[in-house]
Structure 1
Amino acid sequence: MLKEQLNEVEQNIQQACDKVSRSREDVTLIAVSKTKPISVLQEAYNLGVRVFGENKVQELTEKYEALPKDIHWHMIGHLQTNKVKYIIDKVDLIHSVDSMKLAETIEKEAAKKNLIANILVEVNVAEEESKFGLKMEEVIPFIEKISVFPHIRVCGLMTIAPFVENSEENREIFTNLRKLSVDINAKNIDNVNVSILSMGMTNDYAVAIEEGATMVRVGTGIFGARNYNI
């Protein structure tokens, strides 16, 4: 079942790329593996998946220890400052930076490990009260402030679009995030190159790709429904 679902997602990504004349290599598929047991992740790994996204620090660290070391781990969930130290040297990318306090903590913990943390700034494009993230107008001032941190590299933007039945309803959100990335790059801020757009999930990733997503976060589409009872 996992193999078939993974193949279907791959086909959908390829079709979306073809539709707008993009290369498949331009889009990274992040397998969102939250709540899934290690055995299922190992099965996905055996099928060629190397990029996994986790929402919770404890789950990420446990899976990091148990699974092959050539996996690229992404922290995609809301990150509490007191948990940063546990994942700072384990993840390739933190998708969910949305406050100065969190950025300062990442800087401090990255400095301790003498590494540079790659981050995305989370943007609440739709301004949903239930979601984390900065408002659109807050993003450039925020990036200008954190661009001086020597142990942080701002690599792009991330958004979680509303859950909708018709993915076309989210097209404008993805378009707006892409436009914002263009505006940021036009400012030529030192230490900032917004090349990553992490947007699109199981129900809207094809539209996100058409609008410029470079990373899509797909969980249910690959692994099936989540199990919240574990």
Structure 2
Amino acid sequence: MNNQETNGEREEKEEAAEQSSMAASAMDGVAATALRSVLHRVQQAAERSGRRSDQIRILAVSKTKPVSLIREVYDAGHRFFGENYVQEIVEKAPQLPEDIEWHFIGNLQSNKVKPLLTGVPNLDMVESVDDVKIANHLDRAVANIGRKPLKVFVQVNTSGEVSKYGIDPSGCVELVKHVSLGCPNLQFCGLMTIGMLDYTSTPENFKTLANCRSEVCKALGIAEEQCELSMGMSGDFELAIEMGSTNVRIGSTIFGAREYPKKQSN
């Protein structure tokens, strides 16, 4: 009798494990499916703006998401990933393939520059250079490590919100000049902005960044094609592409809503 009960329990456990595995397999494909949908939407937006979809980089922003989910999107063929926090990217990058091109897109403090660069050898770009001080720290750190020049975007605060990081549009040209002419270990690649969260002034924000690009290119004597625009996130990336974005940062639309750890009470 005991053996029969044990066998029955075992069968129930095996059936439950199989169902759990099937559910996990179904969940495992969600991010890859979402990526395919984003690729299609990017292609349509690119066509509307008279460009090819391969002229637009899709940065899959994986903050708060586990390595397993990033790996799923990587296995679907994607190679561009972005993180907002130094501790997260330093922990995740070594667990993932070296051919990933990582972008750091969050506010970067001076004391975190060295850990970021040494912890992520395949860091391709920092999108959030917003003052001379951080540019100089990055320049020196790259030189000290002896790695290849680091690509950077200059972050511009196009919405005028005090809570947002970024150089004021009026100071954009001078900061870009400093990066381009005074930081030999940095490679200026373009401008980045974050529009207002409620999207009320998104078109104006994007237009402001495009105007900044025109001024920068004129000051440096370069073609506008040599200055990327990183603008647009999950809620507004199609509009951003139509307004000239070459780099869209998409998180929740690919990976699902972010899950932040609950703050423990003291």
1:130 alignment counterpart:
163
2:234 matches 1:202: yes
- d(CA) in 1 for partners of 2:88, 2:51: 34
- d(CA) in 1 for partners of 2:111, 2:226: 27
- d(CA) in 2 for partners of 1:214, 1:90: 21
1:61 alignment counterpart:
90
Contact 1:52-1:73 within 8 A present in 2 as well: yes
TM-score norm. by structure 2 comes to: 0.81
Give deviations 1:197-225, integer Å, cap 9, x for gaps. 11000000000000110000000010010
TM-score norm. by structure 1 comes to: 0.93
Q: How far did 1:194 drift?
A: 4.8
2:7 alignment counterpart:
none
Change (3 A) 1:87 1:193: farther
2:119 matches 1:87: no
Q: How far did 1:123 drift?
A: 0.2
1:157 alignment counterpart:
191
Q: Pick from 94, 108, 121 the counterpart of residue 154 of structure 2.
A: 121
- d(CA) in 1 for partners of 2:161, 2:65: 27
- d(CA) in 2 for partners of 1:59, 1:83: 12
Change (3 A) 1:80 1:86: same
Give deviations 1:159-206, integer Å, cap 9, x for gaps. 01011256xx4112112211211221112269x985211100000000
Q: How far did 1:99 drift?
A: 1.3
Counterpart secondary structure, 1:84: helix
- d(CA) in 1 for partners of 2:55, 2:244: 9
Q: Pick from 248, 252, 259 the counterpart of residue 220 of structure 1.
A: 252
Q: Pick from 57, 62, 65 the counterpart of residue 28 of structure 1.
A: 57
2:51 matches 1:19: no
The aligned length equals 227
2:204 matches 1:175: no
Counterpart secondary structure, 1:102: helix
1:185 alignment counterpart:
217
- d(CA) in 1 for partners of 2:67, 2:40: 25
Counterpart secondary structure, 1:129: coil
Amino acid at match of 1:158: M
Q: What 5-or-longer segments of structure 1 have no aligned partner?
A: none
Amino acid at match of 2:75: N
Contact 1:30-1:216 within 8 A present in 2 as well: yes
Q: What 5-or-longer segments of structure 2 have no aligned partner?
A: 1-29
Change (3 A) 1:134 1:31: same
Q: How far did 1:87 drift?
A: 2.3
- d(CA) in 2 for partners of 1:165, 1:57: 27
Amino acid at match of 1:222: I
Indicate the RMSD between aligned Cα atoms, in angstroms.
1.8
2:39 alignment counterpart:
10
Amino acid at match of 2:78: V
Give deviations 1:40-92, integer Å, cap 9, x for gaps. 11111111111100001111111110001110000001111111112224310
- d(CA) in 1 for partners of 2:86, 2:145: 18
Greater RCO (CA < 8 Å, at least 6 residues apart) = 1
Give deviations 1:83-136, integer Å, cap 9, x for gaps. 111222431000000111111100110111223111110000011111100110
Larger radius of gyration: 2
2:102 alignment counterpart:
73
